[in-house]
Amino acid sequence: MIEVQHLTKTYGHTAAVDDVSFTVRPGLVTGFLGPNGAGKSTTMRAILGLDRPSSGRVLVDGRAYRDLVAPLSTIGALLDARALDKRRSARNHLRVLGSTVGIGRRRVEQVLELVGLTDVADRAAGGYSLGMGQRLGIAAALLADPDIVMLDEPVNGLDPDGILWIRTLLRDLAAEGRTVFLSSHLMSEMELTADHLVVIGKGRIIADVPMTELLAGVGENRVCVTAPQADRLIGLLTSPDVSVLQKAPHVLEVTGVPAATIGEVAALHGIALHDLHPATASLEEAYMNLTHASVTHRGTPVLTGSAVR
Ligand SMILES: Nc1ncnc2c1ncn2[C@@H]1O[C@H](COP(=O)(O)OP(=O)(O)OP(=O)(O)O)[C@@H](O)[C@H]1O
């Protein structure tokens, strides 16, 4: 378990993290989300004792990181996959890391196999692709078979096969009763991987909720309808309590009427429906709603056509 208690970290006059409290529980995959600069890495660094909190504290299995008896087998972490000696091979990197805590060569070979690096294990890590480097970082995090796994952007640079692999791995680790905590900007991937979410914006916690609860709160009361005669249906559904959004010529999103009622109205007027289902929100949509006010680094739309000239 990881317990973050009233954590504040300031750099100069700026609070990177401001009175943040949450608990990461065993047996679940907990996702850590937030816009760029929200404070995710700062929080993760504080968990590992790499940054000293300005106030508050972080406990890992009940102790501050520096007080852990066996830190590597308590929490395995990947914060920055590039932070390693680039001249060293993956095999040597893991052997050196393992030797500091009595981990033998057999376990090194096991994790190399687990992350799919056995074939390239003797090549210098400096020549690895981004995805291979990530795999090596994940191997290092798992080396001492830790109870808690914490990964900052683990899917960064992984190919589709690698993304599926890490998703399955993290879900399996949680199913074994371990604590899994990961950050990612890939909402679709987080939606498939995490059971619980902690969302941070401008250094403060915006949400600390089960995934199902977050998604249920957004999709409520909306129904997707596909009908070739969508225009006729709009006319029949229009009322002060109902809003109809035409998402495509034949596709409507209706709020305020149950799917069954829409089906009955359509049947009564001989309107064919090609599809009718309650809308489910995506994590991306829920996340955008939550964090809209907390985005500090926003791009501007690309201008096209006459607007450029
Ligand atoms: N060493 C530092 N010195 C000064 N400011 C820092 C330092 N580290 C982080 N910050 C600031 O703290 C804030 C939070 O940064 P942090 O890296 O924790 O965000 P993040 O959520 O991990 O962002 P990203 O998604 O872009 O990785 C940012 O405003 C950042 O500029």
Tell me the ipTM for this assembly.
0.96
- DSSP assignments along 98-115, one per residue: HHTTT--HHHHHHHHHHH
Residues of the chain above pLDDT 90, percent: 70
Give the strand pairing for 179-183 and 243-248: unpaired
The CA distance from 37 to 17, in Å, is 10
pLDDT digits (tens, 9 = 90+) for 14-59: 899 999 999 999 999 999 999 999 999 999 999 999 999 999 999 9
What are the residue ranges of CATH 3.30.70.100 in the chain?
Answer: 220-285
Give the confidence band of 299 by pLDDT, cuts at 50, 70, 90.
low
Q: Is the pLDDT of residue 305 over 50?
A: no
Which residue from 42, 184, 198, 294 has its CB within 8 A of the most atoms of ligand 1, so it is best to mutate?
A: 42
Q: Is the CB of 47 under 6 A from ligand 1?
A: no
Whether 85 shows a pLDDT value over 90: the answer reads no
User: What spacing in Å lies between the alpha carbon of 224 and ligand 1's midpoint?
Assistant: 40
What's the DSSP call for residue 84? S
- Positive or negative torsion for Cα 10, 14, 20, 24: negative
Nearest residue CA, atom 27 of ligand 1?
A: 36
- 57 beta partners: 5
- More confident: 299 or 68: 68
Ligand 1 atom having least distance to the Cα of 17 = 14
pLDDT of amino acid 40: 95
Residue 156 pLDDT more than 90? no
Q: How confident is the model at residue 306 (pLDDT cuts 50, 70, 90)?
A: very low
Yes or no: say if 39 and 107 are a contact pair by the CB < 8 Å rule.
no
CA of 125 to the centre of ligand 1 (A): 27
- How much is the mean pLDDT over the chain? 90
CA distances from 200 to 47, 139, 212, 215, 217 (A): 15, 28, 18, 17, 18
User: Helix (H, G, I), strand (E, B), or coil: what is residue 237?
Assistant: helix
Looking at residues 213-235, what average pLDDT do you find?
A: 87
DSSP letters, 18-47, are: EEEEEEE-TTSEEEEE--TTSSHHHHHHHH
| Atom 13 of ligand 1: nearest residue by CA position | 16
The reported pLDDT for the residue numbered 289 is: 83
pLDDT of residue 295: 63
Between 86 and 11, whose confidence is greater?
11
pLDDT for 293: 63
> In Å, how far from its chain's centre is CA 83?
22
**Of 3.30.70.360, 2.120.10.30, 3.40.50.300, 1.10.10.10, which CATH number belongs to 2-214?**
3.40.50.300
Predicted confidence at residue 308, as pLDDT, reads 47
Phi-psi region of 177 (alpha: psi -120 to 50; beta: other; left: phi over 0): left
CATH of 220-285, one of 3.90.79.10, 3.30.70.100, 3.20.20.70, 1.25.40.10: 3.30.70.100
Residue nearest to atom 17 of ligand 1 (CA): 41
Q: Do 227 and 191 form a contact (C-beta atoms < 8 A)?
A: no
Q: What is the pLDDT of residue 288?
A: 87
| Residue-wise burial string across 259-269, b where 16 or more C-beta atoms lie within 10 A, e elsewhere | beebeeebeee
Q: What is the pLDDT of residue 267?
A: 96
Classify 93 as helix, strand or coil: helix
Q: What is the pLDDT of residue 279?
A: 82
Q: In what order do the strands lie in the sheet with 204-210?
A: 75-78, 148-152, 179-183, 29-33, 196-201, 204-210
pTM: 0.83
Chain centre distance of CA 128: 25
- At 254-286, the pLDDT tens digits run 998 999 999 999 999 999 999 999 887 788 888
Cβ of residue 156 lying under 6 Å from some atom of ligand 1: no
pLDDT at 201: 92
DSSP string, 143-211: TT--SEEEEESTTTT--HHHHHHHHHHHHHHHHTT-EEEEE-S-HHHHHHH-SEEEEEETTEEEEEEEH
Q: What percent of the chain has pLDDT over 70?
A: 94
CA 229, distance to chain mean position in Å, is 40
Ligand 1 atom 25: residue of nearest CA: 36
Contact 48, 65 (CB under 8 A): yes
Q: Which atom of ligand 1 is nearest to the CA of 42?
A: 18
CATH 3.40.50.300 spans which residues of the chain?
Answer: 2-214
